[in-house]
Amino acid sequence: MSRTGTNLRSRLCAIVRGARSSETYRVRRQAERDAALDCGRSESKAPSPLRSAGALQKLASGVSTTVGRLAAISLTKIALVSILILLASNVAFGATNIYEIRGTPDLSIYQLNPTSGVLTTVFSGYPGGSSATIAQRPSDGMHFYSINVANGRVYRFNPATPGIAPVALTSTLGGSVPTSLRMAFSPAGVLYYLPDTGVLYTINQTTGVATAGPTITGLGSGGDLAFVGGTLYVINSGRQLFTAPVGGGAATLLGTVTFPGGITPNTLGLAVDGAGVLRVQTQNPSSLYIIPLPSLAANTPLTIGGGTTATGDLGSATVPDPNLSITKSNGVASVYQLGPVTYTIVVTNLTAAYAVTGTVVDNVPASVTGVTWTCAASAGSTCTAAAGAGNAINTSATLLPGGGTATYTVSGTVSAAAPGTLTNTATVVVPAFLIDSNTANNTATDSDPINVNANLSVTKTDGLANVNPGSIVVGNALTSTGAANGAIVTDTVPASITGVTWTCGSATLGATCGAPNGSGNSINTTANLPVGSSLTYTVSGTLSVTATGTLSNTATIITPASGVTDPTDPGRTGAGNNSATDTTIINPVADLTITKSHSGNFNQGQVGATYSITVTNSGFAPTSGVVTVTDTLPAGLTATAINGTGWTCDLPTLTCTRSDALAVGAGYPESRSP
């Protein structure tokens, strides 16, 4: 019979024996095969197993308290009775954390502070049943608990990721495996299960199937087991402490554990904490004690919540505490008013053995506006949320052991009024019931001086896609989103534009020109630009008739040499929107040339002397329209004829015209006789 059933029967029998004649009890069966309550037999003789759930009812007040997985009986007592039966199991985690699993009505797993006795809920509503025993795997801190029924099922739970419910292993313990509340891991990671029969079972941690091993004799019933190094210690419900051979055989009685004040409580649970201290849990009172081996005089009692009769079971493991770390950087040495800022936060699980869920908090200063963030986890790890917005960031990530990461990218804009220094701190914490082994790496801070900022920009256009040689106007519009007095404006106008002049005007919001106008191809002047203001420079000149290809002209504005920084151009080189270029295609044109020649010398009275005139296109485009050639003869010469192939000529005016296009490099012949 399980120790829970034994304890309940003992208490019920005690009530029956001490009842006055006026007290009436009614016991009725809830299930056909429930065991009878036989108070006449010896307490040491094992009664029939109690198999189904029941409740202890207090009729005077109407309060019902769950007994757990016990005999399904209802007890009614007219006199006042106050009994609380809880099924619990504690397990050490690291050097400071102890866990407790409780049955109905809790059905919860708690973290028990071994200093204060305060219970912190880790998981509520665990599946499987209302009575369980629990142990913790030393390699990764994983919890395994079994439901206290014959052929029960084993569940696996990671206390470092409390948002994930316990998972049932694939099989039950086995049809012939009896109920037990004694379970523990060896330092080598073997999960042992020891019913009162003395058969030492090993439990497959994947399937949950129990395999019978050797038998250990002489242990008595109830209690718990725990490993101290390679030695298996067993305590029974009568406070007797043994060492037991894992290979089977007779257990060695070390003696009976004594308690302060000479009390003789039932001993339920046994564990070794992370400091190697052997601890025992008792019932009546419900307390946790230290057994200072080799002495068996228990000391340092710690009251456990849940009432004086709360029952439980301890399991032990020297599992290392978790270790989460965080780093934060924006990758720059300074930031700028009205400039962007982006932080990269990396949270890492340095715990080698198990996954951990960490809470990430980053209260971004109010001087950063429009804050948004994203999260990306390494393979196998997960972000609780992939993205969010707002300055108060509070989220979490579950990280795989041995370097699982979550990378948060936090972006925003530094406000125009942000002064001094921008300091931003991010933290990561493990769940409240765990203790981080290295709190020094749980906080990361990035701090940068805030520079006075002027986001200058320039645009430039002549409003044309193409241009013919002649006049050209280039307009430079300058704007500023941050105060910049003495901003430097430069524009080196190409040499193909001659007669360059410029003017400054069209000021808005208090902007002023360093100079109102000027001339020359090398423009270098200043501008005073308050926040949001603008100026317009108008540059004029004449494009050379020989200019070809494209006309490209760049204007630049940079901040003064000191005191103000442009976030898009911190090096003052005209980067980003601090430079603007206008490129215009120069239209190709025809360029006609004419030559005139004669042969030999002319004599007075000579008839038939001839001049030859040739028109050639030396430009970059064919001619279009009418080409006209006019000749003026000197005194003494009289034209008698003028003609040429393709020409239409008029002798009186000595003029010839034609309209066909003259290709680039080609010529029109013309001959004329005076």
Percent of the chain with pLDDT over 70: 78
Q: What would the mean pLDDT of 486-513 be, rounded to a whole number?
A: 90
| Residue-wise pLDDT tens digits, 640-651 | 888 888 899 999
| Neighbour tally for 647: CB within 10 Å | 19
Coil, strand, or helix at residue 5?
helix
| Residue-wise pLDDT tens digits, 598-620 | 888 888 878 878 888 999 998 87
Q: Sheet harboring 25-29: ordered strands across?
A: 25-29, 73-77, 54-58, 63-68
Task: Mark whether 611 and 528 lie in a shared domain.
Answer: no
82: in domain: no
User: Considering 273, 289, 315, which residue would you say is the last residue of a domain?
Assistant: 315
199: in domain: yes
Task: Mark whether 400 and 471 lie in a shared domain.
Answer: no
Q: Exposure pattern of 622-631 as b/e (b: 16+ CB <10 Å)?
A: ebeeebebeb
| Residue-wise pLDDT tens digits, 515-571 | 999 999 999 999 988 878 888 998 988 888 788 888 888 999 998 876 677 878 888
Which DSSP symbol is given to 4?
H
Which regions of 249-323 does DSSP assign to beta strands (E)? 249-250, 252-256, 266-272, 278-283, 287-291, 299-303, 314-315
Cα–Cα–Cα angle for 220, 223, 227, rounded to 5 degrees:
105
Task: Mark whether 576 and 469 lie in a shared domain.
Answer: yes
The alpha carbon of residue 44 and the mean position of all alpha carbons in its chain are separated, in whole angstroms, by: 59
Give residue 108's pLDDT: 81
> Does residue 57 carry a pLDDT above 80?
no
User: What is the C-alpha to C-alpha distance for residues 229 and 489, in angstroms, rounded to an integer?
Assistant: 79
Task: Mark whether 103 and 199 lie in a shared domain.
Answer: yes
Task: Mark whether 436 and 513 lie in a shared domain.
Answer: no
Q: Which of 140-154, 397-411, 574-588, 609-623 has the highest mean pLDDT?
A: 397-411
Cβ(94)–Cβ(321) below 8 Å: yes
Indicate yes or no: pTM above 0.95: no
Q: Which two tokens stand for residue 31?
A: 């299930």
Give residue 404's pLDDT: 96
Element (H, E) at 16: helix 3-18
Q: Which domain holds residue 119?
A: 88-315
User: What is the C-alpha to C-alpha distance for residues 208 and 190, in angstroms, rounded to an integer?
Assistant: 12
Is the backbone peptide bond immediately before 105 cis, with ω within 30 degrees of 0? yes
> Does residue 140 carry a pLDDT above 50?
yes
Give residue 13's pLDDT: 39
103: in domain: yes
83: in domain: no
Q: What would the mean pLDDT of 57-81 be, rounded to a whole number?
A: 28
Q: What would the mean pLDDT of 392-405 be, rounded to a whole number?
A: 95
271: in domain: yes
Give 671's pLDDT tier (boundaries 50, 70, 90). low
419: in domain: yes
| Residue-wise pLDDT tens digits, 359-369 | 999 999 999 99
| Residue-wise pLDDT tens digits, 278-312 | 888 887 777 888 898 889 999 988 877 654 444 44
Task: Mark whether 544 and 405 lie in a shared domain.
Answer: no
Cβ(166)–Cβ(156) below 8 Å: yes
First-to-final CA distance of the chain: 146
Task: Mark whether 544 and 439 lie in a shared domain.
Answer: no
Cβ(77)–Cβ(23) below 8 Å: yes
- CATH number for the domain that contains residue 338: 2.60.40.740
Task: Mark whether 118 and 256 lie in a shared domain.
Answer: yes
Secondary-structure percent of the chain, ordered helix, strand, coil, rounded to 5: 5, 50, 50
302: in domain: yes
Task: Mark whether 158 and 250 lie in a shared domain.
Answer: yes
Cβ(54)–Cβ(29) below 8 Å: no
241: in domain: yes
User: Considering 427, 451, 475, which residue would you say is the last residue of a domain?
Assistant: 451
Task: Mark whether 223 and 345 lie in a shared domain.
Answer: no
User: Considering 265, 297, 315, which residue would you say is the last residue of a domain?
Assistant: 315
Task: Mark whether 110 and 197 lie in a shared domain.
Answer: yes
Which regions of 86-198 does DSSP assign to beta strands (E)? 88-93, 97-102, 108-112, 119-124, 132-136, 143-147, 153-157, 167-172, 183-185, 191-193
- CATH number for the domain that contains residue 270: 2.120.10.30
Task: Mark whether 133 and 188 lie in a shared domain.
Answer: yes
Give residue 478's pLDDT: 58
> Does residue 118 carry a pLDDT above 80?
no
> Does residue 267 carry a pLDDT above 70?
yes
Q: Which two tokens stand for residue 91?
A: 């397990």
User: What is the C-alpha to C-alpha distance for residues 365 and 52, in angstroms, rounded to an integer?
Assistant: 59
Query: How many structural domains is the chain composed of?
Result: 5
| Residue-wise pLDDT tens digits, 429-439 | 998 767 788 99
Percent of the chain with pLDDT over 90: 33
What type of residue sits at position 201? Y
Q: Exposure pattern of 546-573 as b/e (b: 16+ CB <10 Å)?
A: ebeeebebbbbbbbeeeebbbbebbeee
User: What is the C-alpha to C-alpha distance for residues 386 and 355, in angstroms, rounded to an integer?
Assistant: 19
| Residue-wise pLDDT tens digits, 158-169 | 988 888 999 999
